[in-house]
Amino acid sequence: MERYLKLLSENEQKNGNMQHFVLELIRQITFDASLSSKERTDEIKKIYWALDEYAGVK
């Protein structure tokens, strides 16, 4: 989750579109053939947890 918090922060510093950025992260994980179904689900959960924490900090 810390990795995603860092990525979210870096994206905001670049004035990036947060929604686009998060969708791209989820898309990359969804189509990553090296991950099992459970690993994909776990990574997507981490993104949502990071988003929740990130929004709480702001």
Per-residue pLDDT of the chain (58 residues; tens, 9 = 90+): 899 999 999 998 999 898 999 999 999 999 999 999 999 999 999 999 999 998 887 6
Q: Which tokens belong to 19?
A: 């929604």
Burial 27-56, CB ≥16 within 10 A → b, else e: eebeeeeeeeeeeeeebeebbeebbeebee
